[in-house]
């Protein structure tokens, strides 16, 4: 009877995010969409048309590439549900909370 008991594997890192594609959540897509639009606007209107195509494409794809790297890079191998931008935000908020108090000895 003990041998017939079922075993269940419970995953460690569970997120409640809605995935629109493998590894891409709806929130990630909503972050990447404006970055892609910024790159498109830069390509069409801001970057001079006299430049070579390779330079124009590099500058146009730069915002989306940097944003994608911030979203998809997982700096902690054990925690697959924490992105690089989340960890950087936590560090910035932690450093803002820290205070240094200087005390002088009383005589």
**DSSP 8-class letter at 24:** E
Average pLDDT over residues 30-59: 93
- Mean pLDDT for the chain? 87
Query: Is pLDDT above 60 for 1?
Result: no
pLDDT of residue 13: 67
Q: Give tens-digit pLDDT for 19-31.
A: 888 878 898 899 9
Q: Give tens-digit pLDDT for 73-94.
A: 989 888 888 889 999 999 999 9
User: Model confidence at 35, in pLDDT bands (50, 70, 90)?
Assistant: very high
Q: What is the pTM (predicted TM-score) of this model?
A: 0.68
Q: Which residues make Cβ contacts (< 8 Å) with residue 26, sequence separation at least 6? A: 17, 18, 19, 20
Residue spans per domain, the chain? 19-96
Identify the residue whose tokens are 């075993």: 7
User: Model confidence at 4, in pLDDT bands (50, 70, 90)?
Assistant: confident
The answer to whether 38 touches 63, Cβ cutoff 8 Å, is yes
Q: Which residues make Cβ contacts (< 8 Å) with residue 20, sequence separation at least 6? A: 26, 29
């Amino acid at each position: 009877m003990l041998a017939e008991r079922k075993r269940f594997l419970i995953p460690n890192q569970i997120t409640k995010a809605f995935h629109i594609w493998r590894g891409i959540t709806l929130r990630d897509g909503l972050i990447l969409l404006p970055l892609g639009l910024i790159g498109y606007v830069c390509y069409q209107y801001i970057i001079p048309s006299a430049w070579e195509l390779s330079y124009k494409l590099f500058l146009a794809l730069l915002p989306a590439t940097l944003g994608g790297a911030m979203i998809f890079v997982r700096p902690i191998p054990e925690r697959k549900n924490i992105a690089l931008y989340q960890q950087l935000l936590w560090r910035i908020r932690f450093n803002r909370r820290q205070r240094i108090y200087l005390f002088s000895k009383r005589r």
